[in-house]
Each structure stands twice: as C-alpha cells, then as structure tokens.
Structure 1
Amino acid sequence: MKDTFKSNDFVQTVHTIHAKRIHFTYCKAIVDQELIQNELLHRIQISEAEINHLLVLKNVIPLENIKLSSNVDEISQSLTKGFIYIQLEPDLNEGLLVHVADLRRGYRLNNEADNEYSVIGPKVGFVEDIDTNLNLLRKELISENLRFEEYIVGSLSQSRVTIVYLDGVCNPQHVNTVRQRIEDAGVDVLFDSSILDQIITDNAKSPFPLFMSSERVDRAKYSILSGQVAIFSSGSPYFIAGPTTVFDFFVSPEDYYLPWVLASFFRCIRYLGVAFSILATPFYVAVLTFHYSVIPQSLLGPIIESRANVPFAPFLEVLQLELTVELLREAGVRLPTKVGQTLGIVGGIVLGQAAVQASLTSNILIIIVSLSALSSFTTPIFKMANTIRFLRFPLIGLAAAWGSLGIIIGLTLLLGHLLRLKSLGTPYIVPLFPFRFHEFKDSFIRSSLSLTFNRPRYFRPLSLKRYKVSKSKDIPDDYNNE
C-alpha cells in the first residue's frame, strides 16, 4: 500500500476526536469532500459514544458500504475506487473502509467532447477543473499503479499541473524528462495546456505538434495505457501526452470501435486526404505554369475555356482563393456556431459564384481548392490540421518558382525536417524511420485486436503486453462436437 501513496492525490491526515487519534487515508481526486466533512467527521465529533473500538466507530458513521479490513491489497484497490480508510490508534493494523466516492462530478451535460466528435464510442470530455479531470481518470482506470504528480507552474498564476502515468508501464526516462522540463518552466501565467506544450516541447520552432492534445477521456486512457505520459493543467479542458509520433495524429478513437477492416479503410482515406490537401493546389500551379504537356488533351479544352478570361497568373489565382477559404474558415470559427455555419455555406457559395462570374478565378480551381479544404478536415487532431493548412502555402510558392522541381525540393526539405524531429527523445516518424516493420500493425492501418496485443516498442514501455489474446475461438463448442 505504500507504493500507492507515492501518488500526490492520496492524502493521509490525523484528527484527534474525543481524545482519540483517528487516521484518515483517501484519494482526494475521486472522493466527495463534502460528504467526508458533513457526514463523516461531523457525525463522529457530535457522537456521545465512547469510540474505543472500530465496531463502535462503524455504528457511528451513517453511511452504507462499510467494512473492516487489514488486507493491504484490498485496501489499495478500495482507495482507488473512492473509499476512505479509517484507522484508530493504538491498533493501526486494521481499519474501516468507507465508500465516499463522488459519483456525480464530471458527468454532466456540458462536458461532451464537441470538438472531437465521434458517432460511435463514449463522448465524455474533460473540463476546465483539474480535479474533475483526475476524477474522470480514476473512475476509468482503476489501478493502484496509476500515478499523479502535481506541480505548481507560473509565478503569478500558481497553476496546478499534474503529470499522469502508469507505473510499471511508462518508461521512467520519459517521466523524468517531463518532470525536469516542467520544473524548469519559467513562466508567470499558464493560460492553457497548449502554452505548456510549447514550453516543454523538443523543438519549439517546428510547425508540427510534438505532443498529443485532446479533450477526450478515452484518448487519455489509451495514451496512458500505451506507456505515454499525460499532462493536465488547471483551467484547461485539454491534456497533452508524449512521446508521440506523426502517425498518432491521424488516429481517431473511432478506429477502435469499428471492425478493423473498416477502421483501416477509413484511416487510409485520411492519409490520402492529407496528401491531396497538401499537394493538389501546388500541382495545379506547377502544371499550368511549367508543364502544359502533361495535361490530357481531353482536359486541355475545359481548362483553356475556364481560364480564358482570368487576368491572373496561376500562382496569384491560387493564392487569392486559398486566402479567401482561410478567411472564411477563421471567420466561421470565431462566430457563434449557427452563425458560423451559415457564413461558411452562404459565403462559400456566393463568393465562389461571384469570383467565377467576375473572371477572377476558374471553375476547375474552385473545385480543387474546395476538395483540398474538405480533405484537411479529415485530420482528427486540430493542431495537425492547422499544420497541414500551413504547409500548402510554401509548396505553392516553390511550385510557382520551379514547377514540379520546386515541389520535390519542398517535400525533400519537409522529410528532412521530420527526420530530425523527436518527441521526448523518440523519433517523430517511427516506425517509418527508424524502420520497424512489426510496428506497422497500428500506424498506416489498424490491424485486428489479435495482432495488436503489444504496446508500441518505440515508447520503450516496461511492460510490453497490453492484453492476452484469447484462444477460446480455436476450441470447438459442444454443438460442433456433436
């Protein structure tokens, strides 16, 4: 049980009541503090009975689900489920386990994960209260090996930051690295966990996110069980987790709630959508500026007719249309939901039609830019979607300068940058580099659960097995034996 108390959210206090010293041990992240104060401590204080034995104390407490226990394993398991352990001096070898879990906190109507919506699976998200978020984790991960370590960051804000990991699974080197970087964070105010992300990241100059950021409880559980370190901060509904790879940002929680064939298909669609979103408009500029010969003859006529009255070069034509789409997207995000949706639909239709009639752009380019913008929305993580939106613009400039050679140069520089990136010391594009063939089971595709029972080796977990594969399917049932 002593190992359980290594977590900072476990509290041990001693109260002297009626000349008797009573020890209380509980997990503050999951218990109901009001219930402890009003129904437990208050009833003991006003009791007229002489509390000289645990059975007397048991009769005084007006709560159900109370039991005597001296078993260390049972006590440790009960503490992680919302029990408080009460011991009475001088005999500290036995105590009372009283259930005082807060079953209401965290589960309310306004903590749905609206920004990472999925049709299948749980929809509970984190909120701005860090105690509520830790409460949700304790309810979902009932393990005495779940560790919470709390720090205070910000000389003015004094914000609470808690790192969460699974002892015996997460590599201690990753935990120590996160500890050191948080302790060295010299900020005055910590507004959000994204600020902490930029402070502790391995490369703050990169446009690529090196820490996973999400508001979903199920994604936090998956990250912790995989051997990652999750970081929560007060005032933020988002957690960050690391180390991560670039492939983690294209994984949706819904992938694991669907059959593996469908999940793999949709994940491949996601990767194709990202490639199209980045390369579609640069190829349009390169082809119309330098490589007319690659255009099929059947398509050459519609392109000439579409661009006959457009006064701008392909580069300026693409640039103004891409900027218009970004303006519409930014305006839609900043406005209230219903108004933003109306602006996006009406503004896109009206501006697109007006731009074609005014000969400011071509019909074909509007189709390409629209599909490119639509493809960028397939990325589940918002931070990676922003990176994809940004990467189009330098590639468009390189395509306008050197055509397809410029695109190749841009992609080469991008690949070189990705090869240098690391997240908590883990290569960013593993298992592609360093090449790990066996780790492709849950990167480009989502393999069957019978093949993904191991945690990712590149996270260097202390415990490799995530679960055991059942062999019951291979055993014929009674019906087949007849």
Structure 2
Amino acid sequence: MKDHEDLITRTFEKLDVKITLYFIQTLVDQKVIDLNILNVIQHHIKDEISYSVLENKLPVSQINRSNDAKIISENIRAGSVFIHFDQEEEGILVHLCKNVERSIASSENESLIFGPNLAFTDSLETNIHLIQRKVRDENLCFEKLMIGERNHTEVRLVYLKDLTDESVVNTVRQRLEDLTVDDMVDSSVLAQYLDDNEFSLFPQTLLTELPDRVSFLLSKGKIAILADRSTNAIICPTSFSSFFETTDDVYTRWNIGTFLRMVRYIAMILSVLLTPAYVASLTYHYEIIPSALLVTLGQSRANVPFPPVFEALVLEFILELLREAGARLPTKVGQTMGIVGGIVIGQAAVEAGFTSNILIIIVALSALGTFTTPSYTMGAVIRIIRFPLIILAGLWGAIGIVVGIIYLMLHLLQLTSMGQPYMVPAYPFRFGDLKDSIVRIPYSYSNKRPVSNRPQDPDRYPAKEAKTKKDPSE
C-alpha cells in the first residue's frame, strides 16, 4: 500500500493523542471524511479519546477494529478509511466508499411486455434490495462468500431456507468455496466455473438480469447467485426447458403462455433442421420433394455452380458475419447495417448465381427461429449446432441428420446441472412437472411445486380452496 499513488495520509493531534488517517482519495469522498470523521473528532470529543469513544461518536454504520495488515490493506482498497492512534497495535476501519454505479433502469437484453421490466445494476447492495422488495419471506437467505485471491469479489448465495433442497444448496456452496482464482470478472465467468461439463456447448446455469424472474424461480426451489460488480444473477440448478421460458408466460393468461412456449420449441426445431433438411434433400433425396416444388428448385439452382452443402455453409457464415457486425457496431448503425447488408448481399448473391432464392428464405427462417429463444446463450448454441448438422447432411443425407440428432440427445440426457438431470421433466420423466416447463396451466391447478427441484415444501396452496369460486352474496 505504501507505493499506491492515491494513498492519502493525514495526521493530527487530539488530547495529546497522535491520530493518523489512511485512505485512497479516488475511492472516498473527502467531504464525507471531513464531515463524519474530522468534524466529530475535533468538535464532539472533548474529555477522552479512545477507540470505544470514537466508535460511539462516529455517525457511520460499518465500523470494525483490526490489526491484520492484509485485512486493513484490502479494506482501504475497497473504500474504507483506517484510523490509527499512535502507540496502538490496532486501528479502526470505517467504510466510506464513494459509490459509482448506474441507476436502476429497464432491462436491455430481456425485454418484457407485461410485468416489471427493471434490471439489476452493478451494485450488489442494490441488487439485494431489488430481490428483498420482491421476496418478503422471512426464510429468504443471503449467504456471503468471498471469491478471488488477488481481487476479492463478494458473492451472495440466495435461496429460501425452508423450501430449497439442502443438498443442492450444499453443492453450490461447496463449489463456490472451492474456487481458487485470481479475480472473478463477472457472474457470466463465475457461471462457467460452476458448470458440471465445461466442454459442453449447452449452458448449465441460467443468467438473468430481471429481479422478478429471480424471485419467481426462488419460489420454485431454485438458487440464485449474485456477484458484486455484475448485472446478471446466476440461477441453478437449471434445465433445458428453462431457457425457453420467460416471465411473460407467467404474467399472461395460461393458454397464451402455453402457445408462446410451443412457438419457441417449434422455432428451435425448425432452426436446427431446416437448412440440413434442404441440403440432404437436394443432395440425396430428390424423391421426397413434390414435383411442382422440384421444378422451382431446379430453376432456382440452375445458375448455382456449388453443391448444396457448400452453398448452405457459406450463406450461414455470411449471416453470422452480419449478426456479429450488427452487434458490435453502435445501435443505430448496427440496425441499419444489418437490414441493408442482408438485403443487398442476399439480392446480389442470387443475381450473381452464388445461391438460390429458396435457400435464402430457409436461412432467414432459421435465423428467426434462433431469435425467438429468450436466452442469448441458448440461441448461440442453436446457431452453432446447425453447422455440423449441415456437414453431416451433405455427407450422408438424412442418415447424417439422424446420427447428429441422436448424438445431441445422448449428450443432453447425460448432462447435469449441479448434479441434477438437465432434461427434466422429460428425463427422468415427471408428468406433474410438465405444467411448470413445457406448458402452463391455470393457477388454480398449479398448487404443487415442481418435484424435480425436490422442494422441502411441495405445496404452494390448498388446491380445493383455489378452485372454489364464491360470489359476495354467498
């Protein structure tokens, strides 16, 4: 700490006691120091000066004594002021950090139609407050953990003590405590450390920036992890179906919510299979194409010199280039470039005989399918697995597609999240949990919590009372 350029040392005397203050000027507001520390010492302490008197007089809530040089150094770097009396072995740490954070705003990555659209900020205290506003259960727990050997990051394990399965809580806590890293950059990095299978494409934890989604999943027996300086919460354990659910499904009527979920699943399947099916049909299986469509396909591909597999791979790669370029450019420029670039390149590719009209339509539909996935990470996975399926379709046709799908299913069936099956409620099959994942039924029939989460309290409310409808006259 002695070599820190912004370290300020202020020394003065009070009642024949030499007092020294240590702090970093960029982390602490000096006006606050003058008001809350110096003013109190100079004008409100007249008879005796000691640590006990100072602790009682200072108008600050976070005050701790310490004689450990490492702890003192860490706290000064975190925005504390260290007060030391000459000839004393210990001192006082006063937390006066100058908070610099963005205000609470709407979510940018998870848009909603109904319900609150507020998002987490990069302040852990603010994020905890947002959850406490939503969940006022006395059993709500915030376990504090510190991660990082060089740059310590505060992490909070959030769950409902009387609801969440204790074995899962112990698993998550143990994995967090066992982490040995220099620095935890963000919760998205922390989520990768917690994966059961780090070589899998599929995410095994769910990232969200919506406090209402966290509160809803906590009530289902899930666990949330909050990290300081991060705008996302980690939800675990999670399942494959969780990445196709949104809180919009909860806020809308049950039949609309079910329909939207079905649309997302169908869009995901079409996004994965449409382009490989096109390649397989044109390469090996002309007989499955209707005669009228076969003529149109022949005319469309008459001037295309490339085989279907190469044509599809190139067009998919061009689409990924447009998507990535649009995401990295400023918002207004990126939107314009994506739309204009897609139209210009698509039209020019067709006129130049580089590709066919029908393939452009198929690739565009596949891209739309990935956009319906609420989770960006899962959408990226869907885009990636299209490429090996296209190659397999070009090599072995429909047999190649089937082999690829079987491999994916076997991989998903053996995948776990915090030791829990990834494909629940499909495998192991839980019929009662379908209402909380694949479909959404009326709330009067949703009195049971998902069995897959192994909640300590399986009942949300009495089913008979929820179904009873009474008029005031009764």
Give yes or no for TM over 0.5.
Answer: yes
CA distances 1:428-448 after superposition (whole Å, capped 9, x unpaired) = 111111111111112221111
Q: Which residue is equivalent to 1:138?
A: 132
Structure 2 CA distance for partners of 1:123 and 1:107, relative to 1, 3 Å: farther
Alignment pair present for 1:302 and 2:290: no
Q: 1:106·1:136 contact (CA, 8 Å) conserved in 2?
A: no
Q: 2:101·2:121 contact (CA, 8 Å) conserved in 1?
A: no
Distance 1:379 1:358 in 2: 33
Equivalences for residues 229-268 of structure 1 within 5 A: 229-268=223-262
Equivalences for residues 169-248 of structure 1 within 5 A: 169-248=163-242
Distance 1:476 1:314 in 2: 64
Distance 1:478 1:126 in 2: 42
The amino acid that maps onto 1:234 is D
Distance 1:177 1:407 in 2: 37
Q: 1:220·1:230 contact (CA, 8 Å) conserved in 2?
A: yes
Distance 1:207 1:408 in 2: 19
Q: Which residue is equivalent to 1:454?
A: 448
Alignment pair present for 1:324 and 2:318: yes
Deviation at 1:109, TM superposition (A): 5.8
Q: Which residue is equivalent to 2:272?
A: 278
Structure 1 segments of 4+ aligned residues over 6 angstroms from their partners: 105-108
Distance 1:294 1:169 in 2: 53
Distance 1:106 1:158 in 2: 18
Q: Which residue is equivalent to 2:10?
A: none
Matched positions, count: 388
Deviation at 1:160, TM superposition (A): 1.1
Equivalences for residues 5-404 of structure 1 within 5 A: 111-404=105-398
The amino acid that maps onto 2:401 is I
SS of the residue corresponding to residue 115 of structure 1 reads: coil
Distance 1:477 1:120 in 2: 29
Distance 2:466 2:142 in 1: 37
Q: 1:156·1:188 contact (CA, 8 Å) conserved in 2?
A: yes
> Pairwise CA RMSD of aligned residues?
2.5
Find 1:440's aligned residue among 434, 459, 468. Answer: 434
CA distances 1:358-416 after superposition (whole Å, capped 9, x unpaired) = 11000000000001001110011111111111110111111111000000000000000
Deviation at 1:143, TM superposition (A): 2.1
Structure 2 CA distance for partners of 1:258 and 1:276, relative to 1, 3 Å: same
Structure 1 unaligned blocks of 5 or more: 1-33, 48-104
Q: 1:246·1:429 contact (CA, 8 Å) conserved in 2?
A: yes
SS of the residue corresponding to residue 346 of structure 1 reads: helix
Deviation at 1:336, TM superposition (A): 1.2
The amino acid that maps onto 1:267 is R
SS of the residue corresponding to residue 450 of structure 1 reads: helix
Distance 1:222 1:174 in 2: 18
Q: 1:106·1:135 contact (CA, 8 Å) conserved in 2?
A: no
CA distances 1:19-71 after superposition (whole Å, capped 9, x unpaired) = xxxxxxxxxxxxxxx9xx97xxx8xx979xxxxxxxxxxxxxxxxxxxxxxxx
Distance 1:351 1:109 in 2: 41
Deviation at 1:475, TM superposition (A): 4.8
Distance 2:453 2:465 in 1: 28
Structure 2 unaligned blocks of 5 or more: 1-31, 46-98
The amino acid that maps onto 1:381 is S
Distance 1:243 1:268 in 2: 23
Distance 1:357 1:452 in 2: 55
Distance 2:451 2:471 in 1: 36
Structure 2 CA distance for partners of 1:109 and 1:189, relative to 1, 3 Å: closer
Q: 1:107·1:124 contact (CA, 8 Å) conserved in 2?
A: no
Deviation at 1:302, TM superposition (A): 0.9
Deviation at 1:165, TM superposition (A): 0.7
Distance 2:113 2:437 in 1: 22
Deviation at 1:357, TM superposition (A): 0.8
Structure 2 CA distance for partners of 1:476 and 1:133, relative to 1, 3 Å: closer
Deviation at 1:273, TM superposition (A): 0.3
Deviation at 1:140, TM superposition (A): 1.5
Q: Which residue is equivalent to 1:412?
A: 406
Structure 2 CA distance for partners of 1:182 and 1:360, relative to 1, 3 Å: same
Q: 1:128·1:236 contact (CA, 8 Å) conserved in 2?
A: yes
Structure 2 CA distance for partners of 1:373 and 1:201, relative to 1, 3 Å: same
Deviation at 1:144, TM superposition (A): 2.1
Q: 2:101·2:122 contact (CA, 8 Å) conserved in 1?
A: no
Q: Which residue is equivalent to 1:19?
A: none
The amino acid that maps onto 1:229 is I
Deviation at 1:161, TM superposition (A): 1.1
SS of the residue corresponding to residue 339 of structure 2 reads: helix
Identity across the alignment (%): 46
Question: What is the TM-score when the length of structure 2 is the normalising length?
Answer: 0.78
Q: Which residue is equivalent to 1:465?
A: 459
Q: 2:104·2:120 contact (CA, 8 Å) conserved in 1?
A: no
Q: 1:441·1:451 contact (CA, 8 Å) conserved in 2?
A: no
Distance 2:151 2:430 in 1: 44
Question: What is the TM-score when the length of structure 1 is the normalising length?
Answer: 0.77
Deviation at 1:289, TM superposition (A): 0.4
SS of the residue corresponding to residue 165 of structure 1 reads: strand
Structure 2 CA distance for partners of 1:108 and 1:304, relative to 1, 3 Å: same
The amino acid that maps onto 1:403 is G
Deviation at 1:473, TM superposition (A): 6.2
Deviation at 1:313, TM superposition (A): 0.5
SS of the residue corresponding to residue 292 of structure 2 reads: helix
Q: Which residue is equivalent to 1:16?
A: none
Structure 2 CA distance for partners of 1:123 and 1:335, relative to 1, 3 Å: same
The amino acid that maps onto 1:341 is Q
